[in-house]
Structure 1
């Protein structure tokens, strides 16, 4: 059963995509109006300011990513969970021309309002917390040996994925992400 997205949902979806491609300062309501097929005043109806729209986009993106993370089979060994997470992250890169929404916004952090900055931090913390649990599990059963604490390993792994996203985009080569997977010796 196919459902039609509301104008509000379409605006958020297109805003996410534009920010993943161009960043916070790389799109306007005019861009969105052309993509959605509505006047800019209609966009202002739903989102009086760009900051309101970006905050909603971050919340929607976070909810989508966390929903996907929760679908990773809890019965998998820790290494398998990390491999699934990396593959999921890789789908974010599209054809290598975009990066994680919150990774892109993190680069713009000094130009963002406080609520958006906090929402972006929340996205990073949620992913790092989940990854820390996986690294702790892998440390306990010996499948992910590391000298770092689980929280440190999680931050390093997530930072490596975010960095791979940036360099994949820079070089238009998704292989950068595969290098991260290989360096952590994740199964395919």
Structure 2
């Protein structure tokens, strides 16, 4: 047990990442500073630099952690379920991202800031998009074989369009404070 008043390093680091993710999802890359994190976590900015020497380090770790969490939830979707059920569960995951309607997908938000992102963060965001699109393409191909999902053209092209629609719907959910926009996207591919 830690009896001194020094905060546990892992706890502070996790708090920094959690708050950074929340700020990225609501304000974007350029919408927050270490000073904002300092106030939220209750540490000095120099302490933040101890864990993350630069904002690029912090954001890259936030993206990688977010991506790993989201993708592990996606890969945990029952592989024996029908393609239609898989897609429904996928949409529920996106619904959790919206929260109370005040945030969007972290990587979707960063995609809007793409020109100001450091190169390694840009690559991490692109990898997140590609991983989602690849998973969706497999589900769409299954759904086409099962005759439960409509695929116009190749599954990979439809998957990119569908993922773009999901990302856009999150923005609309935030704009209109309703999750209905997200639910409507899936209906476009169901038979």
Question: TM-score normalised by the shorter chain: which range applies?
Answer: over 0.9
Query: What's 1:144 paired with?
Result: 149
Q: 1:80 aligns with which of 78, 81, 85?
A: 85
Query: Is 1:28 aligned with 2:41?
Result: no
Query: What's 1:117 paired with?
Result: 122
**CA deviation string 1:20-63 (max 9, x = no partner):** 01111111111111111111100000111101100000000000
- Cα distance between partner residues in 2 of 1:114 and 1:58: 13
Query: Is 1:159 aligned with 2:164?
Result: yes
Structure 2 contact 148–190 (Cα < 8 Å) conserved: no
Matches within 5 A, 1:1-188: 6-185=11-190
- Shifted more, 26-35 versus 118-127: the winner is 26-35
- Cα distance between partner residues in 2 of 1:33 and 1:119: 25
Matched length: 183
- Cα distance between partner residues in 2 of 1:109 and 1:16: 16
Question: How far off is 1:175 after superposition?
Answer: 1.5
- Cα distance between partner residues in 1 of 2:54 and 2:122: 16
Q: Give the greater-gyration-radius structure (CA).
A: 2
- Cα distance between partner residues in 2 of 1:81 and 1:122: 21
Question: How far off is 1:112 after superposition?
Answer: 0.4
Q: Which structure 2 segments of 5+ residues have no match? A: 1-7
TM-score w.r.t. structure 2 length?
0.91
Cα separation, partners in 2 of 1:130 and 1:119, compared to 1, 3 Å = same
Alignment RMSD (CA, Å): 1.4
TM-score w.r.t. structure 1 length?
0.93
Question: How far off is 1:174 after superposition?
Answer: 1.9
